[in-house]
Chains A and B, each alone.
Chain A
Amino acid sequence: MDNIFSKSVKGRSGVDAGRVDEASISAIPEALRRVTESSLPELSELDVVRHFTLLSQKNFSVDTHFYPLGSCTMKYNPKANEAAAALPGFTGLHPYTAFIDEEAAQGALEVIYEISRQLCEITGMKRFTTQPYAGAHGELLGILLTAAYHRKKGNNKKYIVVPESAHGTNPASAAVAGYSIITVAVDRDGGIDIDSLKEKMNDEVAGIMMTLPSTLGVFERRIKEVVEIAKKYDALMYYDGANLNAILGKLRPGDVGFDIVHINLHKTFSTPHGGGGPGSGVVGVSERLLDFLPVPVAAKDASGRFILDYSVKHSIGQVASFFGNFGVILKAYTYILMLGREGLIDLSEKAVLNANYCMARLKPYYDLPYDRTCMHEVVFSAKRQNSSGVHATDIAKALIDRGIHPPTIYFPLVVEEAIMIEPTETESKETMDIFIEAMKEIASLAESDPEKIKNAPVTTDISRPDETKAARDLKLTCF
């Protein structure tokens, strides 16, 4: 589709900005004025609305397509969440209101306080901060808290341990926080290799980052041993909440001995992904990290008023301008209120049931490197299809032709030709059956007519893009 600038017509405008006196510019000396043009396009409101509406129709989305994207928890985003976040008492609230008069922001502070308490109960942690804007941002905060903890104790720590199956954000966040990375292998069971961990642990390890269930979609059976090893070296345990959707009401990281938890509210707690964001990566901590949390934290005083609490003794500072992505937090809060205790347990149970169902039905057709009960997602491999020249990416593209968003492919890196399927709990058996039939058909075509798969997609607006050209002949703006 033509870009928006090519639709521009000189002199057209989409909004009446209001009456303005051109002479007002005199308040700004010429030397401080803009000389170059902003080059913004000139369109009517209808032009703009039509352009972006047509663009939206070129997307696959949860509301329009099954989206079994492993690791991303593309569940249905209830509309009540959106309605709650759009309430004028929230959207119109300036963040500084709370700094000037807490009384004037009681509703907002209560939301932050309440969701923090609920998340404490859900995860078994002591206190939450809502500042982090996304999962990786929560990871960064968690590792900064780790650094502050060790510094206070006078520990000399240099390393963060990360299993090789971890999301790329884990090592990247630890590096931003000033640590070097020690990578530990995965064992044949899909869990962290305890022997390799023992071998690599040393006094300079500051923390161990774990995803639980692991990114291979299986439960870490030896997690208690990992916690014991960490304790021996005074290393903190970090829980990456990317896969929390599998275990609500079944296990709480705090009970297991984790010190830091981040939760992707945009995964487990149903806030939409927005085409890449905004998310929220709220962080909860154990007792020993309470004194380092960023400030302010929402608290409740003796009289039941909600206040900004700055009394964190060794606070590391702040990682967000105010209270994080408050609009996102509202959506998650609405969701938790609606589901309640039973609903949260139910969602994890159905998420795990759905993934196991997909696993059982697809096992005859695709390689399954870790053949055991899975949690909320299952990782297959396209290795069997490789013999006819068909790769995971081809299977993904063939699914697009069948009206299904592809699963995550080529992650986790420890599985060759990975196809990672996370149906989520909100999908029905019929929808999964359609997906399963599509996967079966693709597997059979991969043998009988592989070219058909390698040419996919053919039903979309565009065929496969030339990514090499995109990186070589960089074109990053319309003009």
Chain B
Amino acid sequence: MAKFTPHTENEIKQMLSDVGAASIDSLFADIPSGLRPASFNLPEGMTEYEALNRLGSLSAANRTDKALFMGGGFYDHFIPAAVDAISSRAEFYTAYTPYQPEASQGTLQAIFEYQTMTAKLTGLDVANASLYDGGTAIYEAAAMAVRTNGRSKIIIDAGVNPVYRKILKTYVINQDVDIIEVDLRDIYTDREKIKSLLDDRTAALILQTPNYFGIVDDYSDLFKLCDEKEITKIAVFYPMSLGILKTPGEMGADIAVGDGQSLGLPLSFGGPYLGIMAASKGYVRKMPGRIVGETVDRNGKKCYVLTLQAREQHIRREKATSNICSNQALCALRAVVYLSLMGKEGFRKISLLNLERASYLKEKLVKFAEIKQGVTYNEFTVKLNGGAGEFVKKMEKKGYYAGIPASIYFPDKKNYLIVAVTEKRTIEEIDKFADAFKSAL
């Protein structure tokens, strides 16, 4: 059994004598004997070697040997080794929340730089230190809108990741907030329907580009309409795409939220990921979560602290802007290291490369399959003749995860397959995939 308590018998004796207790058990005397566990039936401990062996076989029981053409908001991007090297520095990962600034300047400055990069990337003024994931970030953005304008109707396009929409709906089950989901016309945003719904009871409009089916859109027109009615404009984005695509800021969004998984985080079966939130200046005091600010110390030296803490639960309790405490700080660190390594040109290029590889596959597939019309980035929708669910099973046998059957969330779209291509898929891989695709049709 591995053990991490260093006490020797002798030390235990000395400590008990200092405490004035007869035994360790006597320290638990406040727990009434009638409340002692009915059972505590756990296996015997393992050595580190045994435990890692066990984890090794569990890891091997997952099939990760197939080429991933599956996205759905979470993508198989390359992660430079330096990202792991920095995030596995114990000075970062075994530290706590930087409440003691003199002992946490490393974490604080890294977050401050992360805030800067995410704000610039989204084209907005400020960003917070991170939220849990893209979905919870959408809820937090909607809550900011409700707090800002005091209204209770949230309009959300059904092109927003269905996983995120589920989270949003679950969060508000006991609140006086109406979530109105606007169905897509096929796979495209129904602008007329949205326009007809925007009214002075509307707190926020939430739109995503590229949408779940991969369609790239410019929502400037809808956001402009929101301005007339003082509706908060929330854009959901895919960070990788922002190397080349129009930003939430350029579209006029007030708040941008998205999942930062694509910025140096492994897929890791769904987490930990990274909820990114950026906003225009006017919203900063309504923002949830931690925010790092620059200031000076007693000697006038530049330094960083957690700021605007009066918004937060440890000060404001039930009146806080959110209940969030722990966030995804280490994931934010990975993102800031990733973006720093990529740099201005590298990030634009990697972003473009994703588009290039996806366009290449599209050109191949269009010869024998129906690809849904529209501008797309690195993900697009194929309409098959049969069910997409069966198709991906066939493709799995050929060595590919060919995409996400839309029917997981859109039961009426049985034949729709959503296919993603990242920079990691080589030309050879894509060629072979296209061949396999053809033969599986």
With A69-B96, A353-B7: A327-B268 Cβ-Cβ less than 8 Å: yes
With A140-B323, A337-B54: A93-B107 Cβ-Cβ less than 8 Å: no
User: Is the CB–CB distance between B340 and A60 below 8 Å?
Assistant: no
Chain B, Cβ-Cβ closest to A348: B28
**A80 in complex: contacting residue of B2, B331, B353, CB < 8 Å:** B2
User: Is the CB–CB distance between B27 and A64 below 8 Å?
Assistant: no
B240 to chain A, nearest CB (A): 12
Does chain A have a CB within 8 A of B104?
yes
**B100 in complex: contacting residue of A35, A42, A51, A60, CB < 8 Å:** A60
Contact with A along B276-297 (1 / 0, CB 8 A): 0000000010000011111111
Residues of chain A within 8 A (CB-CB) of B342 are: 13-15, 17, 40
User: Is the CB–CB distance between A106 and B61 below 8 Å?
Assistant: yes
User: Is the CB–CB distance between A59 and B104 below 8 Å?
Assistant: yes
With A14-B346, A294-B170: A274-B93 Cβ-Cβ less than 8 Å: yes
With A59-B91, A255-B38, A320-B133: A136-B356 Cβ-Cβ less than 8 Å: no
| Chain A contacts with B in 252-267, Cβ cutoff 8 A | 252, 255-256, 264, 266
Residues of chain A within 8 A (CB-CB) of B272 are: 133, 277-278, 325-328
B440 to chain A, nearest CB (A): 14
User: Is the CB–CB distance between B267 and A426 below 8 Å?
Assistant: no
Stretch at the interface among B152-160, B197-205, B303-311, B428-436: B303-311
Residues of chain B within 8 A (CB-CB) of A290 are: none
Residues of chain A within 8 A (CB-CB) of B307 are: 467, 470-471, 474, 476
| Chain A contacts with B in 49-82, Cβ cutoff 8 A | 49, 51-53, 55-65, 67, 69, 72, 74-78, 80, 82
User: Is the CB–CB distance between A252 and B40 below 8 Å?
Assistant: yes
User: Is the CB–CB distance between B18 and A357 below 8 Å?
Assistant: yes
User: Is the CB–CB distance between A326 and B268 below 8 Å?
Assistant: yes
Q: In the complex, A128→B373 CA distance in Å?
A: 44
Contact with B along A321-357 (1 / 0, CB 8 A): 1111111101001101111111111110110111011
**A20 in complex: contacting residue of B38, B175, B313, B352, CB < 8 Å:** B352
B336 to chain A, nearest CB (A): 8
Residues of chain A within 8 A (CB-CB) of B216 are: 28, 32
Apart from A33-B245, A105-B62, A342-B45, what are 5 other A-B pairs with CB-CB below 8 Å? Answer: A97-B269, A97-B401, A278-B326, A337-B51, A462-B105
Does chain A have a CB within 8 A of B148?
no
| Chain B contacts with A in 139-190, Cβ cutoff 8 A | 143, 163-164, 166-167, 169-171, 173-176
Does chain A have a CB within 8 A of B208?
no
Does chain A have a CB within 8 A of B256?
no
Residues of chain B within 8 A (CB-CB) of A59 are: 91-92, 95, 103-107
User: Is the CB–CB distance between B70 and A96 below 8 Å?
Assistant: yes
Contact with A along B95-114 (1 / 0, CB 8 A): 11110111111110111110
Residues of chain A within 8 A (CB-CB) of B356 are: 20-21, 24
Q: In the complex, A264→B44 CA distance in Å?
A: 23
Q: How large is the interface on B (under 10, 10 to 19, 20 to 34, 35 or more residues)?
A: 35 or more
With A80-B51, A92-B267, A463-B301: A276-B96 Cβ-Cβ less than 8 Å: yes
Q: Can you list 18 residue pairs at the A/B interface with Cβ under 8 Å?
A: A3-B112, A17-B342, A36-B247, A38-B344, A48-B82, A52-B333, A110-B61, A121-B42, A148-B173, A167-B313, A168-B313, A275-B96, A277-B130, A323-B270, A341-B43, A406-B100, A426-B4, A477-B115
**A18 in complex: contacting residue of B24, B102, B343, B423, CB < 8 Å:** B423
With A34-B250, A36-B247: A463-B46 Cβ-Cβ less than 8 Å: no
Residues of chain B within 8 A (CB-CB) of A479 are: 116
User: Is the CB–CB distance between B19 and A134 below 8 Å?
Assistant: no
Does chain B have a CB within 8 A of A272?
yes
Q: In the complex, A218→B243 CA distance in Å?
A: 53
**A318 in complex: contacting residue of B170, B301, B326, CB < 8 Å:** B170
Residues of chain A within 8 A (CB-CB) of B97 are: 273, 275-276
Residues of chain B within 8 A (CB-CB) of A94 are: 68, 70, 74, 76, 267, 269, 401
Residues of chain A within 8 A (CB-CB) of B316 are: 168, 172
User: Sorted from nearest, which 7 A-B pairs have the closest CB atoms?
Assistant: A322-B270, A340-B45, A89-B59, A274-B330, A107-B61, A317-B170, A276-B329
Residues of chain B within 8 A (CB-CB) of A218 are: 30
**A319 in complex: contacting residue of B30, B167, B271, B308, CB < 8 Å:** B167
Q: In the complex, A125→B393 CA distance in Å?
A: 37
Residues of chain B within 8 A (CB-CB) of A29 are: 375
Chain A, Cβ-Cβ closest to B295: A470
Residues of chain B within 8 A (CB-CB) of A62 are: 90, 94-95
Chain A, Cβ-Cβ closest to B395: A100
User: Is the CB–CB distance between A169 and B313 below 8 Å?
Assistant: yes
**A428 in complex: contacting residue of B6, B133, B324, CB < 8 Å:** B6
Residue in A21, A276, A334 with the greatest tally of chain B CB atoms within 10 Å: A276
Chain A, Cβ-Cβ closest to B275: A133
Does chain B have a CB within 8 A of A219?
yes
Residues of chain A within 8 A (CB-CB) of B167 are: 317-321
**B105 in complex: contacting residue of A58, A178, A251, A340, CB < 8 Å:** A58
Chain B, Cβ-Cβ closest to A181: B318
User: Is the CB–CB distance between A426 and B5 below 8 Å?
Assistant: yes
User: Is the CB–CB distance between B343 and A43 below 8 Å?
Assistant: yes
With A17-B349, A340-B45, A465-B297: A42-B344 Cβ-Cβ less than 8 Å: yes
Stretch at the interface among B117-125, B224-232, B364-372: B117-125
User: Is the CB–CB distance between A34 and B355 below 8 Å?
Assistant: no
**B173 in complex: contacting residue of A85, A111, A147, A180, CB < 8 Å:** A147
Chain A, Cβ-Cβ closest to B54: A337
Q: How large is the interface on A (under 10, 10 to 19, 20 to 34, 35 or more residues)?
A: 35 or more
Q: In the complex, A460→B93 CA distance in Å?
A: 20
Chain A, Cβ-Cβ closest to B163: A321
User: Is the CB–CB distance between B27 and A356 below 8 Å?
Assistant: yes
Q: In the complex, A317→B318 CA distance in Å?
A: 24
User: Is the CB–CB distance between B327 and A277 below 8 Å?
Assistant: yes
Q: In the complex, A465→B293 CA distance in Å?
A: 11
A388 to chain B, nearest CB (A): 20
Residues of chain A within 8 A (CB-CB) of B252 are: none
User: Is the CB–CB distance between A322 and B269 below 8 Å?
Assistant: yes
Residues of chain A within 8 A (CB-CB) of B312 are: 168
User: Is the CB–CB distance between A465 and B31 below 8 Å?
Assistant: no
User: Is the CB–CB distance between B27 and A341 below 8 Å?
Assistant: no
Does chain A have a CB within 8 A of B258?
no
Does chain A have a CB within 8 A of B314?
yes
Residues of chain B within 8 A (CB-CB) of A438 are: none
Q: In the complex, A324→B344 CA distance in Å?
A: 32
**A252 in complex: contacting residue of B37, B59, B101, CB < 8 Å:** B37
Q: In the complex, A96→B176 CA distance in Å?
A: 33
| Chain A contacts with B in 364-411, Cβ cutoff 8 A | 372-373, 375, 396-397, 400, 405-406, 411
User: Is the CB–CB distance between A34 and B246 below 8 Å?
Assistant: yes
User: Is the CB–CB distance between B295 and A45 below 8 Å?
Assistant: no
Does chain A have a CB within 8 A of B136?
yes
Q: In the complex, A152→B249 CA distance in Å?
A: 43
Residues of chain B within 8 A (CB-CB) of A100 are: 70, 392-393, 396, 401, 404-405
| Chain A contacts with B in 122-144, Cβ cutoff 8 A | 122, 124, 133-137, 139-140, 143-144
Contact with A along B65-98 (1 / 0, CB 8 A): 0001010111010001010111011111111111
Contact with A along B322-362 (1 / 0, CB 8 A): 11111111110100010111111111111011011001000
Residues of chain A within 8 A (CB-CB) of B105 are: 1, 55, 58-59, 461-462
Residues of chain B within 8 A (CB-CB) of A428 are: 6-7, 11
User: Is the CB–CB distance between B62 and A97 below 8 Å?
Assistant: yes
Does chain B have a CB within 8 A of A196?
no
User: Is the CB–CB distance between A273 and B42 below 8 Å?
Assistant: no
With A171-B317, A249-B37: A178-B174 Cβ-Cβ less than 8 Å: yes
B51 to chain A, nearest CB (A): 4
